Amino acid sequence: MLDVRALQNSFDEVAAKLAKRNMDRGLLNSLRELAFDAKEAKKKMEECLALQNEKSRVFGQYRQEGKDTTELKAELDKLKSEAAEYETRAKELEAKLHESVLTFPNLPDDSVPEGKDEDDNVLLKTVLEPKSFDFEPKDHVELGEALGWLDFERAAKISKSRFTVMRGEAAKLERALINFMIDFNASRGFELVSVPFIVNAETMQGTGQLPKFEEDLFRLESEEERAFYLIPTAEVPLTNLYYDEIVSMDSLPIKMTAHTPCFRKEAGSAGRDTRGMIRQHQFHKVELVVISKPEESMAMLDEMLSCASDMLTELGLAHRLMALCAGDMGFSATKTIDIEVWIPSQNKYREISSVSNCGDFQARRAKIRYKDGKANKLAHTLNGSSLAVGRTLVAIMENYQKSDGSIEIPHALKKYL
């Protein structure tokens, strides 16, 4: 969540940064005016209450001295009424301000490249060389259906399109990948955490999924008044484990990993990647989440990137690291590096991991703080895919395919099968 005080005190700086994210300055100006109106209403209320207290003391003295209090009583009644009106006004404006500020994205870090979309992202480095074939490589759909690994037709029958049934060796390979990823992350100091796959609205709001991206979420019908949602990523429950908590500075950084299914409507991706497993409504992912001190968060970003990249190297998969430009970053991120893996059938790299530093943006929404001496300070939060299991499976199938249509298993996974 944006820092409203920064908006009031450093408007031009905030506006310039959000302009890099294609945000309209007029919308930001309206938010600032709303913040000033709320502040002014609260100030007027406090002035009325202070004057009311002063008049009340005089009223008490008058009564003790037997003086006429009629006029003073009328003034007190008027001040009480005005204070109540300003209080109501202040609460209404603050509620409107809070609701509005939740829809504004994070400020991009100064190191983020400028640009409007993915065409302006910057290549940082490539790792390993894409594999060459002496035959025309097939895509994972053709390979999977021929081997009896992937069943899209029956998945659509029991659910809808963009779901997959994995059978036999594919199901085993998926499980092997999950265990490999968890063990790899644990070796890098990330604690394994098992979390709920259903969360409440406050949790979704804490990491930025609500209110802006509700159309992408699967909302559950509930007899309770509260709304519940299937998680789109383990980032949501992992980060919010510390919702409205003050953690000790000595416990930071908190490094966590979790495997969960993820559920997304993909409402904004109509017509994109409709074939195969690249873009699904349900998929498995192993996630990394870190809660850190502000001065350590960029170092944590590098550590998480190394973890995900080294995992792909261990699997023998060519990949590259891309710095996202301001216009292509996710809502909550202040800086994001994507890792893209080579997909032979498409003859290009595709995203398999996105690692983001969110600064204090999520921590302000979720009220995640740490104790620094006597002061409570906002922590920084980071998250990253490590990795998207389905896309990793796709990459293995296509990069390790043989001319006879069989799939070689990467050495790193053999002990998990």
Check residue 68 and give its pLDDT: 84
Identify the DSSP state of 344.
G
Check residue 214 and give its pLDDT: 94
Query: Mean pLDDT for each 10-residue chunk of the chain (417 residues)?
Result: 92 95 92 95 94 88 84 88 94 95 96 96 98 96 97 96 96 98 98 98 96 94 87 98 97 98 83 86 97 98 98 98 97 98 97 98 98 94 97 98 97 97
Among 32, 89, 279, 350, the one annotated catalytic = 279
Q: At residue 136, what are phi and psi to the nearest 5 degrees?
A: -75, 110
β pairing state of 254-263 and 191-192? parallel
Determine whether 8 is exposed, middle or buried from the number of CB atoms within 10 Å of its CB (0-12, 13-18, 19+): middle
Among 21, 364, 365, 391, the one annotated catalytic = 391
Check residue 377 and give its pLDDT: 97
Q: Domain 118-416 class? A: alpha beta
Residue 188 bears catalytic tag: no
Check residue 56 and give its pLDDT: 87
Annotation: CATH topology of 4-101: Helix Hairpins (1.10.287)
Among 354, 356, 385, 386, the one annotated catalytic = 354
| C-beta separation of 108 from 326 below 8 A | yes
Residue 269 bears catalytic tag: no
CA distance 27 to 98: 15
Residue at token pair 């036999």: 168
Residue 264 bears catalytic tag: yes
Residue 391 bears catalytic tag: yes
Give how far the C-alpha of residue 128 lies from the chain's centroid of Cα atoms, to the nearest Å: 29
Query: In the Cβ-directed half-sphere of 207, how many Cα atoms lie within 13 Å?
Result: 27
Sorted by where each begins, the domain ranges of the chain are: 4-101, 118-416
Name the pTM for this structure: 0.93
Among 21, 94, 174, 264, the one annotated catalytic = 264
Residue 320 bears catalytic tag: no
| C-beta separation of 257 from 186 below 8 A | yes
Cα separation values, 72 from 51, 78, 144, 327, Å: 12, 10, 86, 60
